Every structure is written in structure tokens, then in C-alpha cells.
Chain A
Amino acid sequence: MTAQLAPGRRVRVRLDWPETRGPCHIRTPYYVRGQEGVIHRALGRFRNPEKLAFARPAEELALYHVRFDLRRIWPEADADLLVELFESWLEAA
């Protein structure tokens, strides 16, 4: 997703496991992959850490605070959650 995402927009974190395809550096926790959340706010643009980690040319990506209901991930959680996620991991929900 490349257009700026407005607060309140529903998104889904891509259900993807690059770890299974070779060496990588991922800032998207396992437990939110495939989960639906809501854009909380835009945090700015930062260089793609997945490339920076390997000293490769790294483009800037939009970073968002995405809000999740933790109870939908773990019923006992009783909280909500903010996670910083790059636009490359978000798809329309």
C-alpha cells in the first residue's frame, strides 16, 4: 500500500513468513501477521530496515502505528496494542 493511510482505516498485516525463504531481518512480530488492525497514526517515513540490515540500498517507507485488539490474538490479553509497521506489510482489510 503506497497511498497515505488515514487514521481509522482498517488494514490487515500480510500473512507472510520471509524467514522460511532465507536470511532476513524483519521488524513485524509473528503474532500480528495475518491480523486485522486499524491505522492509529502515521509516524513518518524511514528507510526499509529489511534492506538496511544487509547494507543494501534501502528506500524510504511510510511507518504507521497500527492498533490491534489483543483479545482477538490472545483471549486472555484484556488490552489493546500499538505496533509500528511499515506500509509494505499492510494490505486493505
Chain B
Amino acid sequence: MILGDLDERDMLKGLRALLAEQGIANAAEIAERIAATDAANPGQGAAMVARAWTDREFRALMLADGTKAAEAMGIPMRGLPPLGVLENVPGLHHLVVCTLCSCYPRAVLGYPPFWYKSAAYRAKAVRTPRALLREFGTELARDVAIRVVDSTADYRWMVLPERPAGTDGWDAARLAAIVREGDMIGVTVPSV
């Protein structure tokens, strides 16, 4: 029998039956995970960033243990890879890539943008990162060092960008609205 000849719906049905039979995951658990995956979106990561900008204690928690910080925001993390948070500071900018495949912090950012999995992005990120940032319209000062983070194993990484100037007195909701997906991958920086 050739697997490719099987009807994919039959295969899925068979796989689900096996998962349930062996006690790995039942129908309700699978439905819950599908719902959480579909609901995840960059707004969740943005809310974490905005809270880190306004709440010193949360910032410390987020940098020490991204998973706990996400859970504190009500984001389901059970059974998912640990979340690591990379802090941009004056003089140091982080850029996340997965050169091997497409590892991405889906729990907090949702599905990756289409270009994240492209061979071009993956190659340029490690070879010509400064020029890659320019393609995204991001011109870093020469004295800002770039640290590329190749996501190769068990962690998923997101960037905690620097809070932009001109946002004094803004509350977390207003700040979250200016944080984009690319800011948390590191291809762009938030601005007002």
C-alpha cells in the first residue's frame, strides 16, 4: 500500500483514532489546541511588549521566563516549547530567524508571515542581516550591533523591542497598538 494513495480524510480519521486509543490526545484536546492555534495573533505578543514597557516587574518576569509571562497574560502555553525573550537595548538589536525550518513563537505571535519561511529570508538573515533590515525599511545606526538568533532547537524566540520616544504617558493599550509582528521578529522597530 502506498500512503499517497490513501484518502487524506481517512488518514486523518485513522490518526485521530490512534492518538485517542493510545491516550496521547483525545478529540476535545485536539479541538482545544486547534482553537488556541487559530486564535493566536501578533496582538498577544504586542500586549506582552506593552505591559513590559509599563510594568517593571512584568518586564523582569518576561525576560527571565517568557512562558510564565505569557501565561500571566492568559495565553495558553501548556505543552508548547518554552518561550525565550530577547531584549533590545541601546546599541544591541536582535533579529530572529530559523534557518533549518520555520520555528516561530506561534503561541504568542500566531502563524508566521509568509516571508519568514522563505529561503531568501533565512539565507539573508544570517549572511547580510543589516542589508536585510534595510529591505524592511529599517536603517539602524552604524553603532547599533545586530545579534541574529537562529532558532534551531527547543526554544521559540521573540524580541522585546525598545519603547520608542514620544510615547511618554501612554497606557499599555495605546502602546500595544504600535507594536507590529515584525518588531517582535526584529525586522522592524516600533515608531510613532
Contacts and interface: CB of A to CB of B under 8 A. Distances in A.
A and B: interacting chains: yes
Given A27-B100, A44-B82, A82-B147, A77 B127 contact: yes
Interface string B109-130: 0000000000000000011111
Interface string A72-88: 00101111111111100
Q: How large is the interface on B (under 10, 10 to 19, 20 to 34, 35 or more residues)?
A: 20 to 34
B153 interface: yes
Contacts of A70: 126-127, 129, 148
B149 interface: yes
Interface string A18-46: 00000000011101000000000001101
A49 B146 CA distance: 29
Nearest to A47: B154
B138 interface: no
B19 interface: no
A88 B3 CA distance: 35
Contacts of A81: 126, 147-150
Given A76-B127, A77-B126, A77-B128, A29 B100 contact: yes
Interface string A57-93: 0000001000000100010111111111110000000
B44 interface: no
Contacts of B126: 31, 70, 74, 77, 81
B41 interface: no
10 contacts: A28-B152, A74-B128, A77-B126, A78-B129, A78-B146, A81-B147, A81-B148, A82-B148, A84-B154, A84-B155
Interface of B: 82, 84, 95, 99-100, 126-130, 145-155
The 5 closest A-B pairs by CB, nearest first: A79-B146, A84-B153, A46-B154, A79-B129, A82-B149
